[in-house]
Amino acid sequence: MPQADNASLTVSIWRGGQDGNFETYSVPNRQNQTVLDVVTHVQRHIDPTLSYRFACRVGMCGSCGMTVNGRPRWTCRTHVSKVAKDGKLQIAPLSNLPVIKDLAADMQPFFEKWQKAGGVFEPSKSRAEPVEPIRPNEPQRIAADEGIECINCGVCYAGCDTVRWNDDYLGPAALNRAWTLMNDRRDSAQKPRLAAVAANGGCHACHTHQSCQEYCPQSLNPTGSISLLKRLATKAYLKGELKP
Amino acid sequence: MNVRLYIWQRGTAALMAPLVLIHLAVMFYATRQGLTAHDILGRTRGSIAWAMFYGTFVVAAAIHASIGIRNILVEWLPVRDRAAAFLSSGLGILLILLGARAVFAVVFA
């Protein structure tokens, strides 16, 4: 692979657990390399004990989220040339999550909140019944389409101020998922889901900072989904259908 | 923050928006006309309208502020929901008492 003009990159990588520190490595500066390529180079050629997480390398699986120069990003689709400052990169695990080791953050709280927000589809029919057709031009389907391409990378969760401040806050990804399911008429858990997202730590805790929208690698707008959940929950509460 | 607190906070904000504008207009009027404290008290004493206006203002402000403080406590201090609710309710009661005292002073005293 051809090398870029500056022969090497200075890369600071978080090593250790929650109380770890940054260690600096020199990595060849190649054209068109991604941040994930840089991390892979360090593990394969400099220090095989470096831990990090990835799977698909093409922006589909959501495994490789890391903090790059202070900003949460999907590293497999982030070109070094776009984010390096003066030939320097600082790579850390995703924020707002416990650190397992090095660049691997513990995603358990993220997925626990995803479930707490009612993120699991609850079918209303058995598999013996025919599949219910949903036309692409139905208003609810169009509303769900806005948020359905989430890959659960955790980038929005890591970049959210409210998640950092409020331990109970469910976070943008979980609430975005809940909003897509509230628009799925095949789902049978609409009422408990709305109660879950309207409780303390739910959609009403969002400050509408829109960091999730800014950082989402899929260009989704979880803030928009959350504001529509707020409206849905508020209407239900005023009608007496919801008791927080 | 849950849906009930959200509605109370947004509702009191909507209620206070016109009250704040009227309050500001009254302040400008009083200073521009050079009204003395005696003149102002002459207009407010015994006035049920001013008592209702500032009484509503005090209650709305106390509810709105205590919910906001509750959120700030939860987000910025290591306190849980129950402790934050207790502290912010205390603040709300204090604001109502202080406000009611002020309203009483200009209307009934």
- Give this complex's ipTM: 0.82
* Distance separating alpha carbons of residues B77 and A53, to the nearest angstrom: 33
Q: Which of B1, B4, B76 lies at the smallest CB-CB distance from A205?
A: B1
Q: In this complex, do A200 and B81 lie within 8 Å of one another by their Cβ atoms? A: yes
Of B2, B75, B81, the CB nearest to A198: B2
- Reported as a single tens digit per residue, the pLDDT across A95-110 is 999 999 999 999 999 9
Alpha-carbon distances of A96 from A1, A111, A152, A159, A207, rounded to whole Å: 36, 13, 15, 8, 17
Beta-carbon contacts of residue A144 (< 8 Å; ≥ 6 apart): A179, A180, A181, A183, A184
Give the per-residue pLDDT at A238: 93
Query: At the fourth CATH level, which superfamily is domain A3-105?
Result: Beta-grasp domain (3.10.20.30)
A198 contact residues in B (CB cutoff 8 A): 2-3
Q: Tell the residue number behind the tokens 């290591």, with chain if given.
A: B78
Predicted confidence (pLDDT) at residue A4 exceeds the cutoff of 90 = no
Q: What is the reported pLDDT for B109?
A: 73
Q: Cα distance from B19 to chain A (closest Cα, Å)?
A: 24
Q: What is the pLDDT of residues A52-72, one digit of tens each?
A: 999 999 999 999 999 999 999
Question: Residue A207 above 90 pLDDT?
Answer: yes
What local confidence, expressed as pLDDT, does residue B61 receive?
96
Confidence band (pLDDT; 50, 70, 90) for A2?
low
Average pLDDT over residues A24-50: 96
Pick the CATH number of A108-238 from 1.50.10.10, 3.20.20.70, 2.70.98.60, 1.10.1060.10: 1.10.1060.10
- A244 pLDDT above the threshold of 80: no
Predicted confidence (pLDDT) at residue A5 exceeds the cutoff of 70: no
CA gyration radius for chain A?
A: 20
Q: State how far residue A200 is from chain B, nearest Cα, in angstroms.
A: 5
Edge-to-edge strands of the sheet including A71-74? A21-30, A3-15, A88-92, A65-68, A71-74
Per DSSP, the three-state class of A29 is strand
Q: How many helices (H) and strands (E) does chain A have?
A: 10, 7
Name the residue of chain B whose CA is nearest to A169's CA. B1
Cα(A236)–Cα(B4) distance, integer angstroms: 11
Summarize the confidence of residues A184-206 as an average pLDDT.
95
CB pairs under 8 A between A and B: 40
Domain span holding position B70: 3-107
Residue range B89-107, pLDDT digits in tens: 999 999 999 999 999 999 9
- In chain A, which residues touch B (CB < 8 A)? 162, 165-166, 168, 198-200, 202, 204-205, 230, 233-234, 236-238, 242, 244
Per-residue confidence (pLDDT) for residue A174, from 0 to 100: 98
In chain B, the number of structural domains is 1
> What average pLDDT does the segment A212-240 reach?
96
The CATH number assigned to the domain holding B100 equals 1.20.1300
Domain spans, chain A: 3-105, 108-238
Q: Distance between CA atoms of B22 and B28, rounded to whole angstroms? A: 10
Give the minimum alpha-carbon distance from B55 to chain A in angstroms, rounded to a whole number: 25
pLDDT mean over A70-85 = 95
Kindly tell me the burial class for residue A164, based on how many C-beta atoms sit within 10 Å of its own C-beta (0-12, 13-18, 19 or more).
middle
As a whole number of angstroms, the distance between CA A38 and CA A86 comes to 16
Task: State which residues of chain B have pLDDT below 50.
Answer: none
Bridge partners of A31, per DSSP, are: none
Which of B2, B76, B81 lies closest to A165 in CB terms? B76
Residue A191 with chain B: CB contacts under 8 Å: none
